[in-house]
């Protein structure tokens, strides 16, 4: 995974046009700053692995994989804004609106979103094995996970919940996480599978896998926030308790949350039955990593 | 044009998923509010007309045409935000962040941008005459006009200029307008031409046409702001003078600005030479409309 992340980092760095702009490098610099501010590159790695398990070569899906990280970065920049989560730090560095300013952060997010679609739709960056109709389908899949079916919807409902003091019911909590977290992981996986030439049945299975690890990702996040120190996490621990945020441990308890992790991990792996075990291995490893990570 | 706008309005209304959302209709409502808040639908009309002049049927380009209006609406929502132009009114109605709130406005813009790409990349909404590779190329063209090559770049440089009290030099003013205004008009035109099956040469000519009318659009805007009353414009007149904004009349004078309008209009029409006059007529009319409109 570390090896994949290094490769993705290099490709991301080249994907942002690196030229001297005639009037101002501000927009470019803000995009570059946030995109290269670190991160585990889970979404691109998922996309590449899904392409392989569906019958393609990993490299085929690289443009779409880069797009998933650009979309993810856009959502972090916008969610960090003062009018939303108002965060000054992200991965130990200043957030985009702190390092630059608010308007630049809004516009850098917009520009990264557009760059994602420019990158993913660029026919000439795919090999001939990947037909234009697969590329158009992949673009549609990426687009769908951002708006009312994904990131933005999840954030709007999440913000509505923080405005009321009541505890969030379990179905609403799941709705938020399926939109805020799982939808993009799902799109990354399905996009890779489409580009790799997966059958409809394979794509459905991989969609199920991704939804399970999407929810898993969030439940583990909730557990870590409660059980680890800030030193162990490398970020402020106990934030959820301090802000009285509804989490899985709060709603169903820590033990049941840990059982839920095992259940979701089992569900994810079950969806990989029927695939060649060797090409399924990276996706199994990713699911284990998400479940058992310590930060 | 009025007829076309009515048709586009109906199609836009259907393009936003109109369903009851299980947790909140807020995001959907904000998207719908801003997208349906009026407007002349110049970009979709351009896109449809360019598809026809390039050899297609107008209807072929409808998904891409709708996408151009969604992108335009996103840029208006984000540019109106308190951290940018801080506008309370747009076309006589409350701006999105006033009618809803700031986070919802940021996210509604993001969601409209994503919906644009979902709509434009949807293979099943095009007839079989439009091949998937044309669709992928069109998506790339739309993406390119938003970030460092278009809207966001123009807005960043424009905001930088409003922070300094010096007069903006002519080349910078043109840079801003080519990015903030012309780039999306260009993308609308070129996207239509790609979908219509235009040759590379035709696409180049139409690109030139669109860049001329893009700049034309802005010069006329500057002149109207200076010469018309608020009643005639239906919006606050004299805003540029009041805010000491650099405009064409301010830099080169009113007479020279009017000459520049004629020059740009001539350049635009010249690019239409060689096309069948009957199918070129809508683009000639659009250019005349942009040059001679009274508000």
pLDDT tens digit sequence for A47-75? 999 999 999 999 999 999 999 999 999 99
From chain A, pick out residues whose CB is under 8 angstroms from the CB of B84. 103, 106
Is a pLDDT exceeding 80 seen at residue A104? Answer: yes
Q: Is A18 on the interface with B (CB under 8 A)?
A: no
Q: Test A143 with B28 for CB contact under 8 angstroms.
A: no
From chain B, pick out residues whose CB is under 8 angstroms from the CB of A160. 23-24, 26
Backbone dihedral region of B59: left (phi > 0), alpha (psi from -120 to 50 degrees) or beta?
A: alpha
* 3-class secondary-structure state, position A89: strand
Domain extent for B45 = 2-292
pLDDT tens digit sequence for A183-238? 999 999 999 999 999 999 999 999 999 999 999 999 999 999 889 877 777 667 77
Q: Please report which confidence band the pLDDT of residue B187 belongs to, taking 50, 70 and 90 as the band edges.
A: very high
Question: Mutation test of the interface with chain A: which of B23, B71, B133, choosing the one with the most A Cβ atoms within 10 A?
Answer: B23
pLDDT at site B239: 78
Q: Rounded to whole angstroms, what are the CA distances from A124 to A194, B40, B123, B167?
A: 17, 36, 19, 43
pLDDT at site A261: 97
Residue numbers of B between 175 and 214 with CB closer than 8 Å to A? 175
Q: Distance of alpha carbon B115 from its chain centroid, rounded?
A: 16
Q: Rounded to whole angstroms, what are the CA distances from A173 to A162, A178, A237, A295?
A: 12, 9, 20, 22
Number of H helices, E strands in chain A: 16, 2
Question: Rounded CA gap, A84 and A186, in Å?
Answer: 24
Number of H helices, E strands in chain B: 16, 2
Do the Cβ atoms of B116 and B42 come closer than 8 Å? no
pLDDT at site B245: 85
Backbone dihedral region of B167: left (phi > 0), alpha (psi from -120 to 50 degrees) or beta?
A: beta
* Closest by Cβ to A152, choosing from B81, B111, B133: B111
* Closest by Cβ to A135, choosing from B74, B136, B142: B136
In this structure, of A90-94, A95-99, B74-78, B163-167, the range with the lowest mean pLDDT score is B163-167
If you average pLDDT over residues B150-161, what whole number do you get?
96
Question: Residue B56: which CATH number?
Answer: 1.10.600.10
Question: Rounded CA gap, A286 and A291, in Å?
Answer: 9
Total domain count for chain A? 1
Question: Rounded CA gap, B44 and B50, in Å?
Answer: 10
pLDDT tens digit sequence for B220-257? 999 998 898 777 776 677 778 788 888 999 999 999 99
Question: Rounded CA gap, B13 and A51, in Å?
Answer: 36
Q: How far away is chain A from the Cα of B100, in angstroms, using its nearest Cα?
A: 11
pLDDT tens digit sequence for A232-277? 776 677 778 788 888 999 999 999 999 999 999 999 999 999 999 9
**How buried is B215 (Cβ within 10 angstroms: 0-12 exposed, 13-18 middle, 19+ buried)?**
buried
Q: Test B111 with A148 for CB contact under 8 angstroms.
A: yes
């Amino acid at each position: 995974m570390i090896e994949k992340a290094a490769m993705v980092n290099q490709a991301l760095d080249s994907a942002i046009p690196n030229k001297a702009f005639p009037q101002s490098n501000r927009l470019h610099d803000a995009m570059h700053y946030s995109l290269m501010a670190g991160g585990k590159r889970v979404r691109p790695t998922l996309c590449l692995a899904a392409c392989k398990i569906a019958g393609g070569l990993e490299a085929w899906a690289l443009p779409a994989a880069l797009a998933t990280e650009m979309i993810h970065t856009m959502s972090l920049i916008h969610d960090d804004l003062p009018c939303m989560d108002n965060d000054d730090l992200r991965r130990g560095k200043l957030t985009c609106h702190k390092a630059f300013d608010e308007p630049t952060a809004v516009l850098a997010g917009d520009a990264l979103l557009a760059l994602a679609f420019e990158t993913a739709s660029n026919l000439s960056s795919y090999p001939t094995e990947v037909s234009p109709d697969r590329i158009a389908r992949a673009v549609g899949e990426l687009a769908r996970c951002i708006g009312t079916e994904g990131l933005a919807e999840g954030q709007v409902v999440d913000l509505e919940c923080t405005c009321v003091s009541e505890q969030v019911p379990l179905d609403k909590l799941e709705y938020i996480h399926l939109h805020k977290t799982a939808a993009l992981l799902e799109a990354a996986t399905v996009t890779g599978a489409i580009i790799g030439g997966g059958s409809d049945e394979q794509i459905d299975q991989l969609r199920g896998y991704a939804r399970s690890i999407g929810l898993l990702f969030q439940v583990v996040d909730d557990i870590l926030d409660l059980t680890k120190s800030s030193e162990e996490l490398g970020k402020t621990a106990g934030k959820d308790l301090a802000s009285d945020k509804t989490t899985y441990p709060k709603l169903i308890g820590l033990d049941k949350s840990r059982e839920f992790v095992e259940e979701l991990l089992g569900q994810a792996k079950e969806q990989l039955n029927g695939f060649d075990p060797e090409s399924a291995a990276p996706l199994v490893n990713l699911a284990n990593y998400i479940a058992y990570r310590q930060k």
